[in-house]
Amino acid sequence: MKSYEIENIEMRKVYSSTLKSMIDEDKRVFVLEADLAEAISTNLLSQTNSENYINCGIMEANMIGVASGLSLIGNIPFVHTFSPFVTRRDFDQIFLSGAYAKNNIKILGSDPGIYAQHNGGTHTSFEDIALMRTIPNATVMSISDTTMMKNILKQIKDLYGIHYLSAVRKGSYKIYNENENFDIGKGKVLREGKDITIIACGIMVVEALKAADILSKEGIEATVIDMFTIKPIDKELIIKYSKLTKGIVTAENHNIIGGLGSAVAEIVVENNPLPMRRVGVEDRFGQVGTLDFLQKEYKLTVEDIIKKVREIV
């Protein structure tokens, strides 16, 4: 079975270094923080690129207002805070000042779901994707590794509108080589199999790949898709593999209500109904715990994916 390794560079380091390079090339790029600069490693930008760096303090809703103002005068604001604070707390501001006003804001919600760990239930967001999916014309993505993060940041810089990225801050598994390209709105087929299709996003992509390796030893061949863009979702790819395999299992670090599983189910039920199961958080609040504990507690493990596959195949 293939070994999947944690990357040497953290996601936050890639985020901050990519933003710095973009500011150096284009002074319209601004970085906005809600007093979490050290947490996401943008604190050095306050010294190297001070004219394009704004710490809005612990006033997340105001940060979206500032970003909207920057957009109105032709700038490209990138805003960050922990995922519940930039989605749940800021939803009205993103909806009205951002999307409804047709502004151009790039949003990173970090440490979604179980990655809140010791920050506990108040900092746990199992609903960020669901909330952002409901905003008209917003693009919603779940980032799998640092290669994807760097590539997507560079792409959305030149794409107008509301773009939401959900990603861990620290270690992530290495999935893609440095030359990989990502088409926003298109899923990435990482493995082909004739029996079952596993559609995953974010931290669950590697879990899906591990599950496929184990299933293969049992004679069950799984297609694994990294559906990193959840809105607009790759409708054609979902329909294609719904016809090629016996069923679909989705896997996400998110409530099964409103996230990837719901988005895939909407496509399946309207186009080619077939057996489907969802691996995700089953309508619960977050809690304090280690990553290993939380992954087992909320049934986001390799074993949970395999269990759902066996219910179909």
Encoded amino acid at 215, one letter: L
CB 99 within 8 A of CB 135: yes
Residue 245's nearest CA partner among 309, 177, 154 is 309
Note if 60 is an active site residue. Answer: yes
Q: Nearest 10 degrees: CA dihedral of 34, 291, 7, 166?
A: -40
* List 10, 60, 127, 207, catalytic entry: 60
CA distance 244 to 194: 7
CA distance 256 to 154: 30
CA distance 250 to 279: 6
197 three-class SS: strand
> How remote is the C-alpha of 12 from its chain's centroid?
14
Q: How many residues comprise the chain?
A: 313
Residues 6 or more apart whose Cβ sits within 8 Å of residue 240: none
Encoded amino acid at 153, one letter: L
Q: Print the SS3 string covering 223-267.
A: EEEECCEEECCCHHHHHHHHHHCCCEEEEEEEECCCCHHHHHHHH
200 three-class SS: strand
Encoded amino acid at 24, one letter: D
**Local structure of residue 114 (DSSP, 8 states):** G
CA distance 91 to 243: 37
What are the angstrom distances between the C-alpha of 81 and each of 41, 47, 78, 274, 309? Answer: 12, 20, 11, 39, 35
CA distance 10 to 287: 24
Q: Which residues are catalytic?
A: 60
